[in-house]
Amino acid sequence: MNLKLLTGVIVSTAFLLPGSASGQTADFNIVPQPLQADVTNDAPFILNGKTSIVVATSNNDLKRNATLLASYIEQTTGVRPTVGKQGKDATAIVLSIDKTISNAEGYKLDVDAKRISIAGASAAGVFYGIQTLRKSLPVVSGKASQVTIPCAHIVDAPRFSYRGTHLDVSRHFVSTDEIRQFIDILALHNINRFHWHLTDDQGWRIEIKKYPLLTEVGSKRTQTVIGHNTGKYDGKPYGGFYTQEDVKEVLAYAAERYVRVIPEIDVPGHSLAALVAYPDLACMKAPSAVGVGNKFYGEDENTLCVGKDATFEFMDKVLTEVAALFPDEYIHIGGDECFKGFWHKCPRCQARMKAENLKNENELQSYFIHRMESILKEKGKKLIGWDEIIDGGLAPDATVMSWRGMEGGIKSAKAGHHVIMTPTEHCYIDLWQGEPSVEPDTYSMCRLKDSYSFNPVPDSVPAEMILGGQGNLWAESVPTFRHAEYMTWPRGWALAEVLWTGPSKTDWDRFWPRVERHFVRADQAQINYARSMYNAIVTPYYTKDGVLEIKLDSEPGNLDIYYTFDNTDPDNFTPKYEAPLRIPKNATWLRIVTYRDNKPIGKVITLTIKELEKRADNTRHVVGNL
Ligand code: ACM
Ligand code: ZN
């Protein structure tokens, strides 16, 4: 008894001193936050070169997970455990299946002095336990002599089964190496769906053997618009596509990380690149070149002709190859932003409407989507479409991806359809994530806090119909993979936590410190991310008396904000923001910077008084002359 107590004291002292002092102690304050994590001061687990990873059964998936775990530990700490039997007097991490865990992706992680046990309902559950351990590890530069992992009991399972991230590779191509890196980081955050937006007006990016021109012609454009709708072009030819072999490699990589890949072939709108390759699919006149900008709506023809039987033959053949390639039960057929004006003028589309007794072009789109669903069903697949597929009547078993707010999703869920919620205001990670004047060009705002406040299940909706949600990264203004990472993280972490831990468990004040810990992890892994949450939030408005005031704020609660009106650089010796500001006479600029602990942390923001007035005018317009 005494000995036990003594051992406990000695070990816990050892745990507190060398571990904490050297920074080589694990910490389960991670993203997403596990559902239940009890960390105690009992004797911790010591991970070192003698530690082995043991698989309790002859399950090959678990063996692969064990190898992944060994490499994750090595990447983060420099220590590589062996995979195999537990050595004498050595510690072990044991992976096993526990059929008593009810959620198929759930797991339990128990740490004591001798052993870390990760037991999952399935190999996927074990994988998520592994990700939790991976994220808890201290980031070590070089090689740790040992890592201390505190005694812990974690019981965890996801709130939603569909936890997605979308990537548009049409507007800007992303190589398969980069896609693999992306998938690895999705998996690190328990994201289990990768929605691959493979076709659009600006490029068709997947090889279809039956239609080689889709990639030979449709994957190339002569130049690209710079930024967002600037009207300026870079003059550089651009292209890229995935062969079917490339796709298979990505799929194998994703499957090993329990990420299901959902391909999107965006039709009947957003099809300009396909029309350039196969002009006969157009209603009247296919454009002669793949889209170089992002003004698509109603200008160049970009809609498949629904009057022609050839269109359905084309789609059948394309979807046959896509269905054979992608193992997932879902194929996304787009359906968004289809400009119906070409159909309105097209004699064949009009004849189809007459023959099928369709009242308007919305019903013609619905007719097209119904036929896509039949084609997919024949191939054993289910259809997902953007919420425009509701217009004109929803196909019987369609799953709706609601992006124009939540309304389409709510309506569809009530009508008995599965829904994936991706409303722009929370999930569009192509938007600004902070003060626009210091962000790359885009067109609207979705802050980290906006992503974190996402609730995919509004009241009044049958919760079981909402499969989950997804962050969407449209790439008109995302020219490089580094920038795709910048846009995705940390908002992707916020969405991952909402979707895994659940919106009822979110707590902003506890979340952002965990985001900061992840910044350190991302730095080590050389993953790009945005520090935009550190930039001041500038809200100009007019008082009732018509006076311009400026409210300054920040996302993390513990920043100090300093400003100047005298054209000098703000720092922690210039005025500190305490209450809304009024503009001194003759000032032309407001400059702002954030500090923490007397060190600058955010970017310097410089705004003209004219710009502040313009923003306040816009707000006045929106809120109705407050
Ligand atoms: C979309 O943003 N067009 C789905
Ligand atoms: Zn037509």
Contact assessment for residue 187 and residue 149, using Cβ atoms and an 8 Å cutoff: no
For the Cβ of 178 lying below 6 angstroms from any atom of ligand 1, the answer is: no
Across the range 251-272, mean pLDDT stands at: 98
Specify the pLDDT at position 292.
92
CA of 587 to the centre of ligand 1 (A): 42
* Among 195, 386, 476, residue to substitute to test ligand 1 (most atoms within 8 Å of Cβ): 386
Residue with tokens 């119906």: 340
Q: CB pairs under 8 A, 24+ apart, for 370-377?
A: 370/395, 370/396, 371/312, 371/315, 372/267, 372/315, 372/319, 372/333, 373/397, 373/398, 375/312, 375/315, 375/316, 375/319, 376/319, 376/323, 376/331, 376/333
- One-letter amino acid identity for 149? I
The CA distance from 348 to 366, in Å, is: 17
Q: Counting ligands in written order, which one lies closest to the CA of residue 284? A: 2
Q: Counting ligands in written order, which one lies closest to the CA of residue 368? A: 2
| Confidence label for 621 from pLDDT (cuts 50, 70 and 90) | low
Specify the pLDDT at position 296.
62
The CA distance from 154 to 38, in Å, is: 6
Across the range 320-337, mean pLDDT stands at: 98
Q: Can the peptide bond before residue 396 be classed as cis, meaning omega within 30 degrees of 0?
A: no
Query: Looking at ligand 1, which atom is closest to the CA of residue 403?
Result: 4
Per residue in 197-220, pLDDT (tens digit) is 999 999 999 999 999 999 999 999
Q: Which two tokens stand for residue 541?
A: 């408005």
- Within 8 A by CB and 6+ apart from 492, the residues are 165, 186, 189, 191, 429, 471
* More confidently predicted of 469 and 86: 469
Per residue in 400-453, pLDDT (tens digit) is 999 999 999 999 999 999 999 999 999 999 999 999 999 999 999 999 999 999
Atom 1 in ligand 1: which residue has the minimum CA distance?
A: 336
Atom 2 in ligand 1: which residue has the minimum CA distance?
A: 403
For the Cβ of 336 lying below 6 angstroms from any atom of ligand 1, the answer is: yes
Per residue in 558-573, pLDDT (tens digit) is 999 999 999 999 999 9
Specify the pLDDT at position 234.
94
Query: Could you give the angle at the alpha carbon of 401 between the alpha carbons of 291 and 491, nearest 5°?
Result: 80
Per residue in 501-546, pLDDT (tens digit) is 999 999 999 999 999 999 999 999 999 999 999 999 999 999 999 9
Specify the pLDDT at position 88.
84
Query: Looking at ligand 1, which atom is closest to the CA of residue 386?
Result: 4
Per residue in 277-322, pLDDT (tens digit) is 999 999 999 999 999 987 667 889 999 999 999 999 999 999 999 9
Selection from 262, 234, 120 nearest residue 477 by Cα: 234
Selection from 165, 29, 73, 139 nearest residue 526 by Cα: 139
- Within 8 A by CB and 6+ apart from 122, the residues are 97, 104, 105
pLDDT at 15 over 60: no
Query: Looking at ligand 1, which atom is closest to the CA of residue 401?
Result: 4
- DSSP letter string, 101-152: --STT-EEEEE-SSEEEEEESSHHHHHHHHHHHHHHSPP-SS--S-EEE--E
The CA distance from 83 to 80, in Å, is: 9
* Among 195, 389, 474, 478, residue to substitute to test ligand 1 (most atoms within 8 Å of Cβ): 474
* Mean pLDDT across the chain: 93
CA of 336 to the centre of ligand 1 (A): 6
The CA distance from 169 to 472, in Å, is: 12
| Confidence label for 8 from pLDDT (cuts 50, 70 and 90) | very low
Annotated active-site residue 172? The verdict is no
Residue 445, burial from CB neighbour count under 10 angstroms (0-12, 13-18, 19+):
middle
The CA distance from 430 to 400, in Å, is: 21
Specify the pLDDT at position 18.
32
> Can you give the pTM of this predicted structure?
0.95
Per residue in 357-388, pLDDT (tens digit) is 999 999 999 999 999 999 999 999 999 999 99
| Confidence label for 1 from pLDDT (cuts 50, 70 and 90) | very low
pLDDT at 152 over 50: yes
* More confidently predicted of 292 and 5: 292
Q: How much of the chain, in percent, has pLDDT values that exceed 70?
A: 95
Instruction: Tell me what percent of the chain is helix, strand and coil, each rounded to the nearest 5.
Output: 35, 20, 45
- DSSP letter string, 358-387: --SHHHHHHHHHHHHHHHHHHTT-EEEEEG
Selection from 58, 119, 54, 56 nearest residue 91 by Cα: 54
Cα 615 → chain centroid: 29
Annotated active-site residue 337? The verdict is yes
| Confidence label for 12 from pLDDT (cuts 50, 70 and 90) | very low
For the Cβ of 160 lying below 6 angstroms from any atom of ligand 1, the answer is: no
Q: Of 172, 270, 417, 418, which one is the catalytic site residue?
A: 270
Specify the pLDDT at position 622.
55
Cα 476 → chain centroid: 16
The CA distance from 126 to 206, in Å, is: 33
Selection from 109, 107, 108, 133 nearest residue 28 by Cα: 133
For the Cβ of 443 lying below 6 angstroms from any atom of ligand 1, the answer is: no
CA of 349 to the centre of ligand 2 (A): 4
Atom 3 in ligand 1: which residue has the minimum CA distance?
A: 336
Per residue in 53-110, pLDDT (tens digit) is 999 888 999 999 999 999 999 999 999 999 998 888 899 999 999 999 999 999 999 9
Contact assessment for residue 454 and residue 412, using Cβ atoms and an 8 Å cutoff: no
Contact assessment for residue 96 and residue 62, using Cβ atoms and an 8 Å cutoff: yes
